[in-house]
Amino acid sequence: MRALIVALLVTTAPPACADTIAATSRITAVTVYPDGARLTREVSFTAPEAGPHELLVTDMPLDSDPGLIRLVGSKGLQVGAFALRADRLPPRETPLTDAQRAAKADVEAAEAEAVRAQLALEAIQAKVEAAEAQVRFLASFSGALPDGATPETIKAMAGMIGAETLAARQAALAARAELPPAEKSVAEAQERLAKAQAARDALPSADMDYTALSVAVTAGAAGAQTLTVTQYLGNASWQPVYDLNLTRQGGDRLTLDRSVLVTQHTGEDWDGVALTLSSSRPSEQAAPSQLWPELRSIGPEVEPEALARKSLGGADMAMQDAPVAEAAPAPVTAGMALEGDTVVYNYPEPVTVATGAENLRLALDSLDFTPVVKAVAVPRLDRTAFVTARFTNGSDEPLLPGQAMLFREGVLVGQTWLDVIAPGVETDVGFGALETLRVKREMPKRAGGETGIFVSANRQSESALITVENTGPEAWPVRILDQVPYSEQDDLEIAFAASPKPSETDVDGQRGILAWEFDLPAGGKQTITLEQTLTWPEGMVLR
């Protein structure tokens, strides 16, 4: 399809125009999607006269797709055919922004200052070296006395050598005293230069591989004109991230701070653009474990001789006759998708996102909820309870899928993934283990030493004792989850008894899942007994 579009554009290439106007574009607005982005560019140029011209925009990204480009001209500018050109492009100077020009000037000034400081230091070092050389020469003088030397002339010569040596040593010492401040000036100048270079390098770069957009335009009159270019690119994305802080002091409260992570690898920097976002763990366990319904069934009892024959029949026959266990449901994983109305966030300030930026974080807003907080425990699988908060999205917009960091009283306790939460929808979020609430599930011994599970020919019974103990200073509303098997066969009868009786059966429509809810004071203890009995006809086996 793209090849067809390119071919059509080539065959409808701009006609021979009176002149070619080279121009560059400026990205003014960007709309980022979960996968991709829409860039809006403005191309400002001056038409020398009314009539047809070829406008050559020389800074389009190399991977631009002509099928994903839309053009709109200002009033009085008619836009015709256009095409992308990747060869025979005119030379261009690397465009610089005002900030880049200022940074370049700062670097040049710092470089000149560093050179001056280095030259001053070298001049002082030369003075030291000259004075020390003079001292060495005077110290090494061993010439013969002149003819007719008298004591007075010898004394005068010695005095001269001594005076000159002293003067040379004093000059060397004076020059050495100038070295520390000169060396400090060099170090400071080099530090300023390094900072100026770092500031320049941190600015968005306009240097990139590019293609040119050739557009046939017709100006209604000479003068300033504007062409708006809209294009869609890949290699950009955004996703929401959340900080959820659960507090109980002074009343249960859940604060949700929303931010976004923006990533782009489009090959060019977005400098000061109007940004629109359009929708579409510590490693420890942070939420209660999941229980799955347990399906039991009965079938004809297999005689030992039949089992022996099956074993002699080979592995394939054994595999065919072996009972097949019911597969547990696959874990549910969330994808980056939105259900419901589109949500758009307009960032209130201009944003700069350099190409290659990974997860630039931008703050959005904060929402407060009044949650229902409970300590939820699954004694069959866990040895402690977990804090959970159920809240309703009372805002007018859905909360989009994203990673969430979980805090309890300001302390990081885990992380999770939030699926989309539509307005008015309730959601449960786990906030880590509650170590002060210990749970235990035991199967007490029977008379004679049998364990809590007893099996006869056509009957199986099981008893369990669940203990919940609050060792902390705070009272907690507790929810205990356990299970009993269920049957879809009339001949397999399943009965259970619990004390106290469960508050809820078939939790969330899952058959056999039981729940008990009660308040457990500080230092309190609660026990639950659960017994179940399975019976089936003679000649059948339990599966």
Question: pLDDT for 335-364, tens place per residue?
Answer: 223 333 567 888 888 888 888 877 788 888
pLDDT at residue number 320:
39
Q: Which of the four pLDDT bands, split at 50, 70 and 90, describes residue 96? A: low
- For 349, residues 6+ apart whose C-beta sits below 8 A from its C-beta are none
Rounded Cα gap, residues 39 and 238, in angstroms: 15
Check residue 197 and give its pLDDT. 81
For residue 366, pLDDT over 50 is answered with yes
Q: Please, what's the largest Cα pairwise distance for the chain?
A: 148
Among residues 383, 71, 68, which one has the least CA distance to residue 217?
71
pLDDT score at 281: 34
pLDDT (average), residues 137-141:
69
Burial class (CB in 10 A: 0-12, 13-18, 19+), 25: buried
Q: What average pLDDT does the segment 448-471 reach?
A: 75
Give the C-alpha separation, 467 to 454, whole Å. 22
Lowest-confidence range among 104-113, 286-295, 441-450?
441-450
pLDDT of residue 492: 92
**Is the predicted pLDDT of residue 296 greater than 50, yes or no?**
yes
Among the residue ranges 24-33, 148-157, 400-409, the one predicted with the least confidence is 148-157
Q: Which residue has the higher pLDDT, 62 or 258?
A: 258
How far is 364 from 201, CA to CA, in rounded Å?
A: 28
Most confident residue range from 8-17, 20-29, 394-403, 495-504:
495-504
430: pLDDT strictly greater than 90: yes
| Spatial separation of the C-alpha atoms in residues 436 and 475, rounded to whole Å | 10
Confidence of residue 39 (pLDDT cuts 50, 70, 90): very high
For residues 73 and 80, give the distance between their C-alpha atoms in angstroms, rounded to a whole number: 10
pLDDT of residue 514: 95
Give how far Cα 81 sits from Cα of 11, 22, 24, 43, Å. 10, 17, 19, 16
Q: Report the alpha-carbon distance of residue 213 to residue 85 in Å, rounded.
A: 6
Which helix (H) or strand (E) segment holds residue 113: the answer is: helix 98-139
The pLDDT, as a whole number, for residue 14 is 45
Helix (H) or strand (E) holding 356: none
Rounded to 5 degrees, φ, ψ at 188 are: -65, -40
pLDDT at 521: 95
Q: What is the mean pLDDT of residues 83-98?
A: 66
Summarize the confidence of residues 160-177 as an average pLDDT. Answer: 78
* CB-CB neighbours of 151 under 10 Å: 7
Give the per-residue pLDDT at 250.
83
Mean pLDDT of the residues in the chain: 80
pLDDT (tens digit per residue) in 470-529: 999 999 999 999 999 999 998 999 999 999 999 999 999 999 999 999 999 999 999 999
The C-alpha angle with vertex 137 and arms to 132 and 138, in degrees rounded to 5, equals 100
Q: How far apart are CA 95 and CA 271, in angstroms?
A: 13
What was the pLDDT predicted at 8? 41
Assess whether pLDDT exceeds 80 at residue 303. Answer: no
Q: Can you give the pLDDT at residue 28?
A: 93
pLDDT tens digits, 316-342: 433 333 333 333 333 222 222 333 356
Residue 108 clears pLDDT 80, i.e. is over it = yes
In the prediction, which pLDDT does 186 show? 86
Which pLDDT does position 475 carry in this prediction?
A: 93
Backbone angles phi, psi at 117, to 5 degrees: -65, -40
Write down how long the chain is.
543
